[in-house]
Amino acid sequence: LKKLVTDVNEMFDVIIWVTVTRDWSTRKIQNEVLRQLSLSLPDSETDSEVAKTLIQSLNSRTFLFILDDVWERVDLKAVGIPGLSPAKGCSVIVASRRLDVCKEMAGKRVFEMEPVSREEAWALFREKVGELVESPGIQPYAEKIVVECGGLPLLIIVTGGAMRGVNDVLEWKHALTKLELPTELVTNGNEAVMHRLKFSFDRLKSFDIQSCFL
């Protein structure tokens, strides 16, 4: 997605990228859009008043609006994103782990991202962990951990980061055990991803750091 933005950067007057997350609200999205547009409004403004200001600001520009990490439908009109006109050249991209959300919001086209290959997954994991991942005692566990990540770059990156600098074979064995799915989650894709992300969260050493992700 970042490469796409780089490639199309000159096609738009403004590119707005908002990471939504599960803990979202219309106002949180609006505040981030205001920040990226270098606009400020009194806190007393209602959501609908903010939306009106955003629509007025964006109506005069060609824009690419990216909503990343979306977990449920977001009402773009309520946020303040003008209706899209093909002739004007404005676009909205919705990125989500949930196919139903993409289908509900996309309107025209939905692209399902394929998992990376096993070779690409291993190369990415090795990049994040470092050369110790190829140590004789560690590599067998590391390879199985990469398989547990299911070819998802996000999981590979955060799991690799969590294991960076760990040279104790027993810790690697324990990590694999923690990442393996309970039977009830095997067929639940979203919960499976969250289960594995929780592993990396739990490995954060400081409660203060953990609280940044709550």
Per-position pLDDT tens, the chain of length 214: 677 777 888 889 999 999 998 889 999 999 999 999 999 998 899 999 999 999 999 998 999 999 988 989 999 999 999 887 666 788 888 888 788 888 888 666 777 778 889 999 999 999 999 999 999 999 999 999 999 888 888 788 888 998 999 999 999 999 898 887 554 443 445 566 666 667 776 765 533 433 333 4
d(CA 73, CA 137): 46
Question: What tokens were used for 158?
Answer: 């955060």
d(CA 214, CA 65) in angstroms, rounded, equals 25
Hey, what are 206's tokens?
């400081």
Distance CA 107, CA 104 (A): 7
Q: Return the half-sphere exposure (C-beta side, CA atoms, 13 A cut-off) of residue 109.
A: 5
